[in-house]
Amino acid sequence: MTDSEDDPLKERVESWLAREMPIIQMHGGTSAVRKADPEDGEVIVELGGGCKGCSVSDVTTGNIEAELIQWPEIAEVTVRVPDARESLGGPDQAESIMGIDRTEGGRGDWGSSNPGEDHL
């Protein structure tokens, strides 16, 4: 590791993510170290942006966890990737949010996401 051992753990993890996991940013994702406690060795990383709903985010999280758990000062690693639906209000969210019809990829259905019998 090229980071100074004197740097706070959070800064070293952030630096490692930027240096060793450029694929996150290359694919429109973001990473943030939410917790890096040198006392108990717990590290929590959260991925966002393009990572939400990405089909390979589980591979990315596994790689991060596998590497960081090898650091002597880290005892536990959690990598969270929010579900893509969380930003839209979850599975109970109405079909239309802020006037945007989400049916058929957002193309809509003549302004209705639930057309009646008289629909063409």
Per residue in 10-24, pLDDT (tens digit) is 999 999 999 999 889
What pTM, to 2 d.p., does this model score?
0.65
Per residue in 77-99, pLDDT (tens digit) is 999 998 766 554 444 544 444 44
On whether residue 16 sits in a domain, the answer given is yes
On whether residue 67 sits in a domain, the answer given is yes
On whether residue 33 sits in a domain, the answer given is yes
Residue 79 has a pLDDT of 95
Mean pLDDT value across residues 30-54: 93
Split at pLDDT 50, 70, 90, the class of 120 is low
Provide the residue type at 29 as one letter: G
On whether residue 95 sits in a domain, the answer given is no
Say if residues 24 and 60 touch (Cβ distance below 8 Å).
yes
On whether residue 90 sits in a domain, the answer given is no
Mean pLDDT value across residues 87-112: 46
Domain count, the chain: 1
Which range of residues forms the domain containing residue 77?
8-85
CB atoms within 10 A of CB 47: 23
Residue 55 has a pLDDT of 84
On whether residue 75 sits in a domain, the answer given is yes
Residue 36 burial by Cβ neighbours in a 10 Å radius (0-12, 13-18, 19+): buried
On whether residue 30 sits in a domain, the answer given is yes
> Domain containing 43 — which CATH number?
3.30.300.130
Residue pointed to by tokens 């259905």: 109
Per residue in 48-70, pLDDT (tens digit) is 998 888 888 899 999 999 999 99
- Can you tell me the distance from the alpha carbon of 88 to that of 69, in angstroms, rounded to the nearest whole number? 33
